[in-house]
Structure 1
Amino acid sequence: MADASDSETRTAEALAAVEVDISSLTPGMSLVVKSHGKPVVVRNRTEQEMKDGQAVNLGDLKDPIARNANLTADAPATDANRTTPGKEAWMVMVQVCTHSSCIPLGQEGDFGGWLCPCHGSQYDTAGRIRKGPAPENMAVPVFKFISDTKIRIG
């Protein structure tokens, strides 16, 4: 018979992961879910958004680190390192500005990614900081595709 601590552990594990159905997201669409109390955006990027992200010279980036919890801590901030191999159209990241924890607006700003209206930080289509006071790229949480139409975050 399981004791209370086993039950609490299973409950905590269940609350830590969020499964997201992405079957209705066509290119150019996003949805925001809550994970660990924070908004996480799931975006099906367009071909142009992917091309824009891949064309960025890493030397032009304010933060050269991917900030992807699925990779090593020192992985470079390439467009590919901000996504998942074979699923490069899909961006999954914590939609919180790394300057003051504001919530950036999607598909805004000079780089077509996210714009924080509070202090003007601008992120590109891969969620990398490009302009403004934010010091780091938006974080990519632990996530994985559990099917072609579902992602588990956490």
Structure 2
Amino acid sequence: MSGSGNQYDHLFVKHMPVCGPDDFNNEGEAADLEPPKNLGEPNWLLHAGLVPDAKVNMTHIWIHETEVPELWVVPHVHDYDEILIWTGGDPDNPHDLGAEIYMDIDGERHTITTSGCVYIPAGVEHCPLGFTRVDRPFRFSALSLAPHYVSDREERAAERARAREAD
């Protein structure tokens, strides 16, 4: 890549910033659950704050080994489409995830053991998401078809709190 001042330099993200604790305050990992101990450092690959013209946002994290089942993300909904991607870390066998993870889509449980992804349409509740076991590290990315990450989790938590107060 050539030096600065080129017409398209502003489109390159050359350093993935760390996702802060408030970046996913609607998700279980940063809300009311202790994050799983096998998570690597979460990084932003892209969002409108990094590339102002971006119409999508994407994160990346390594998931490390664990024999202990872990819940990672609690149920939530987005008003945009999302693609969750998991890729095994063995270059000689890229289809083998090296793990068993689970994820619910609208209450339907799915077990995942191969590299792949899931397309989640806007408005569809998804998660819980967790690990049954992780035998070797794999990569996990979330691609949201929106310039910034948001979910309904804070709104739902407020509704539950109001219901508890009414009881």
- Which of 1 and 2 has higher RCO (CA within 8 Å, sep 6+)? 2
Max Rg structure: 2
TM-score (norm 2): 0.28
Greater helix content: 1
